[in-house]
Amino acid sequence: MSYSMKCFLGIDVGAVSTNLALLDSNLDVVFQRYVRTGGRPLASIRSVIDAAGRSSGDLDIVACGTTGSGRRLAAALVGADIVKNEITAHATGALHYFPEARTIIEIGGQDSKVILVRDGVVSDFAMNTVCAAGTGTFLDYQASRMGVTIDEFAGLAAEAGESVTISGRCAVFAETDMIEKQQRGADRGAIARGLCEALARNFLTGVAAGRRIDPPVVFQGGVASNIAVRQAFTRELGCEVMVPELNDVMGAIGVAILAGRHRRADEPTRFRGFEVHPGELATRDFECDGCSNRCEIVEILHGDKLLSRWGSRCGKWDVA
């Protein structure tokens, strides 16, 4: 892009991936980037910001938002105008492309969530708690045990004419089942398809338990790229499952839209620009002993200056 335009910037920092989306004033995506967080959120945030700066041309960033588990860290690093939770961001992104959606399934690397929408407003939601059997990491690990990449795994599962039944109650039981099926000589494709079906069943009986899944259903997050999982959800739900074209960066798209809505023309953005130097920042934490909750408080500092602090349930220590 060689021309100047006003854009909204969204960044979604998760445990597995860090995603960025740039939207123009028509809310069309003009740039997006997905990278692995790799346990280094500061470096991954810098990576996506640098990529956007190199590729974006002459842009005027008029609003910036962050979301994901690392949203406060990202906000302190880049200068965000709004900080939103994942539920709000993913719902906003999904409803932008599918305004009639009533159920949103989002499955990422380490968490998964179901969001119920009524009349265009989130009415209920649920997230996974301790089990990884309904997440992308579960499939990544099983693919590694089979000696294939996750893309090869998805292809094997999608092309399999049949599946073997594998427990989806938890990751440990699923792995035990998979090993047993391998020892019995089951086809690799059938095992892969069985694992994808186990993930879908575990999600519906675990994360979405007790909730009515009404169509239209939108499926997003990195796992939505796996066609075998999409097929499994379609069979389990008995209805079409719609997948956005940019399913893996929907959180970033959603928070960019929210940043645009939040923007006031008479207020400049807090965005600091595409030159980000995380080495100048430091993080530290401490435990509050003010009550029995013993909250872990996290601080972000630039030299001696406190940029952000969060973690207290009561809000006592929070600094935006």
Q: Read off the pTM.
A: 0.85
Q: Is the pLDDT of residue 29 over 70?
A: yes
Q: Is the pLDDT of residue 93 over 80?
A: yes
Least confident of 11-15, 81-85, 156-160, 273-277: 273-277
Q: Over range 99-115, report the average pLDDT.
A: 91
Band of the pLDDT at 300, cuts 50, 70, 90? Answer: confident
Q: Over range 18-33, report the average pLDDT.
A: 95
Secondary structure class of 87 (helix, strand, coil): helix
Tell me the one-letter amino acid at 72. Answer: R
Q: Is the pLDDT of residue 3 over 60?
A: no
The structural domains of the chain, ordered by start, are 5-89+252-276 (3.30.420.40), 99-243 (3.30.420.40), 281-310 (no CATH)
CA pair distance 63, 234, nearest whole angstrom: 37
Band of the pLDDT at 14, cuts 50, 70, 90? Answer: confident
pLDDT at 15: 80
Q: Is the pLDDT of residue 141 over 50?
A: yes
pLDDT at 61: 92
Element (H, E) at 298: strand 296-302
Phi, psi at 284, each rounded to 5°: -150, 160
Segment 189-244, tens digit of pLDDT? 888 898 899 889 888 988 888 899 999 999 999 899 999 999 999 999 999 999 99
CA pair distance 116, 87, nearest whole angstrom: 10
Q: What angle do CA 96, 99, 103 make, to 5 degrees?
A: 105
Average pLDDT of the chain, as a whole number: 86
pLDDT at 2: 45
CA pair distance 232, 242, nearest whole angstrom: 13
**Where does 14-57 show beta strands of DSSP type E?**
17-24, 29-36
